Structure 1
Amino acid sequence: MPNLETFKRKIDTAADLQSVVKTMKALAAVSIRQYQKAVISLESYDKTLEMGLQILLKVAPEVLLGNGNLVTQKQQLAVVVFGSDQGMCGQFNEKIANYTLETLEKQGIMISNCTLLTIGLRLSDRLENLGYPSERMLTVPSSIEGITTTIQETVLILEQWRQERHINQILVFNNDFISGSNYYPRDLQIFPLNINRLNALKQQPWPSHCLPTFTMSPESLASALFKQHFFVSLYRASAESLASENASRLALMQVAEKNIKDRLLELQKEFQHHRQSDITEEMLDIISGFEALNKSTK
């Protein structure tokens, strides 16, 4: 039977673990806020890019809506999937991996026509086990500052694939943060530009009576806007994925904290029960000794 010292050690260990979990919860909450700020900071810039596309669509729509912007029958896809390199984030990698495969299967995309780039070693291993090996794998950035470097490398890889492998469609998959500890997987086509979105922008009225003009050629403007759209879309996907990863970790830590709290209460009850039993035994020993002493003196 465990003695009181054993229970004390268990209680101290559980208390230390509870402290670690609380710290990880706080770090996850702070990280979510930082990555969400990064996403919010892109909204104004993304709106500016959208207005630039709208101007180009009204002045020279053929540049964006021509045949070069459409996906041909023979698809050669590049797929970018954002995951995690770290543990303690629940089903984060499993969710995005399963969603990616289900989406590709629904679209009838063969693995032979798909070139895969994964962000995250754990996700890469997960997809390879499911039969989708990665052509390239990059590590997940550990901070806001690291996102830019990772996305720059991603853009260079995708551009190389476009030229060498004649990639005509690029899809991005990532977990998208909602709120609190909630997130869901999503996909986005970043190349070519979504034709439905372009048609909607073309029909959308300009907010003023005077349409801005530009001095460069429509082709140069379209190229510049597309490059910025390409980078911003990948940057947003990375930031959303990192926020979602921390949201998943936050949810896991909340469950762990509750379990530890319940375990602490259980250990404290057992400690008090055994302590009371030890006191009762000691009192009985004292009483028995006293009675034996009285009998011996009579």
Structure 2
Amino acid sequence: MTQLSRIKAQLESLSELDELVGALRSMAAWRAREAQDAFPGTRAYCRIIERAIAEISPLVKAPEPPAQSNGSLLVVSSENGFVGGFNNRLVEKALDIREAREKLIIVGRRGLAAAKEKGVEPDLFLPMTSHVAGITPLARRITARFDTVVSARIVFARYMQGASYNTEAKRVLPLDTSLRAKDVPGIPPLHHLPPEDLLRELANQYLFAEIAHALMESLASENGARLRTMEYASQNIGDKIDDMKKEERIVRQEVTTSDMLDVITGAEAVSQES
């Protein structure tokens, strides 16, 4: 293969790669926006459960402090790649704050790989969903695994404007005293279950709501990170295409110059013979 043919083949390959990166960038942008659009709904559900907890709490005796041996730490990472240091940051945050005898639960295959690279094997692994429609069923599956847990924390990526994110940790259980101390009407709410049982069910729903919102935040953050990665990749590909095109022009000029010299040399030889 001549040098010019090699350059043409590389340019064609780079153009195809640029199209693929563009498609991934568009998909990441759409999924990030879809997850952001769902934030008001997940937040509103959390607020409703918080309000119900505040209203029923005065009827229930304050619970005893939870046993340390019954705690779990949930890490929400990504299922797919092209997200830069997203998963490493989440796993590092979790391992840094993990308490003694606290069970580690990882959501997302990439987070699992990051943990194993650090020599850590989680107590439980669940795959992360890649679309908004999968958030609710996944949150229910995770909540079911916390059935007997009285202490629960979540490490997740909170979405920030500009396709950025912050790595955060939030304690969900036991219920924060601030939830129980919120201002509520003085009239006790009507209820059919014993207040203790009702509060227990509300705590479970609060855990579900917070897990669902953390999953949604991380899904938006993951795709924001992927969007930025694809933008950098597209820029690098564009720079390489420009360099290859410059090289192509130089090679073409060299070939043209060489051909002209051959023609001139041949013409001179014929002229001398005649």
Relative to the length of structure 2, the TM-score reads 0.91
2:41 is the counterpart of 1:41:
yes
Find the partner of 2:223 among 242, 246, 264.
Answer: 246
What residue identity is the alignment partner of 1:193? L
Q: In structure 2, how many angstroms separate the alpha carbons of the residues matched to 1:14 and 1:215?
A: 66
2:72 is the counterpart of 1:96:
no
Q: Is the 8 A contact 1:75 1:169 kept in 2?
A: no
- Local SS of the residue matching 2:146: helix
What residue identity is the alignment partner of 1:56? I
1:123-163 deviation line (CA, Å, top 9, x unaligned)? 1232234343211111111222222222222112111xx2x
What residue identity is the alignment partner of 1:237? A
Instruction: Note the 1:51-130 alignment, pairs <5 A.
Output: 51-57=51-57, 61=58, 63=60, 66-68=62-64, 70-72=65-67, 74-104=68-98, 109-110=99-100, 113-130=101-118
1:23 maps to which residue?
A: 23
What residue identity is the alignment partner of 1:10? Q
Q: Is the 8 A contact 2:35 2:220 kept in 1?
A: yes
The runs of 5 or more residues in structure 1 that have no matched partner are none
> Structure 1 residue 258: deviation in Å?
0.7
Q: Is the 8 A contact 2:50 2:179 kept in 1?
A: no
2:249 maps to which residue?
A: 272
1:144 maps to which residue?
A: 132
- Local SS of the residue matching 2:74: strand
Q: Is the 8 A contact 2:43 2:213 kept in 1?
A: no
> Structure 1 residue 84: deviation in Å?
1.7
Distance 1:3 1:212, change over 3 A: same
Q: In structure 2, how many angstroms separate the alpha carbons of the residues matched to 1:148 and 1:139?
A: 14
Find the partner of 1:177 among 153, 159, 176.
Answer: 159
- Local SS of the residue matching 2:73: strand
Q: In structure 1, how many angstroms separate the alpha carbons of the residues matched to 2:119 and 2:253?
A: 60
Q: In structure 2, how many angstroms separate the alpha carbons of the residues matched to 1:114 and 1:212?
A: 37
Find the partner of 1:213 among 164, 189, 214.
Answer: 189
What residue identity is the alignment partner of 1:102? D
2:122 is the counterpart of 1:134:
yes
Find the partner of 1:191 among 173, 197, 203.
Answer: 173
- Local SS of the residue matching 1:214: coil
Relative to the length of structure 1, the TM-score reads 0.84
> Structure 1 residue 12: deviation in Å?
0.7
- Local SS of the residue matching 1:67: coil
Q: In structure 2, how many angstroms separate the alpha carbons of the residues matched to 1:152 and 1:43?
A: 17
What residue identity is the alignment partner of 1:236? H
Q: Is the 8 A contact 1:38 1:239 kept in 2?
A: yes
- Local SS of the residue matching 1:15: helix
- 94-103 vs 143-152, which moves further: 143-152
1:27-86 deviation line (CA, Å, top 9, x unaligned)? 0000001111222222222222232233234xxx252x6033x345x4532111111221
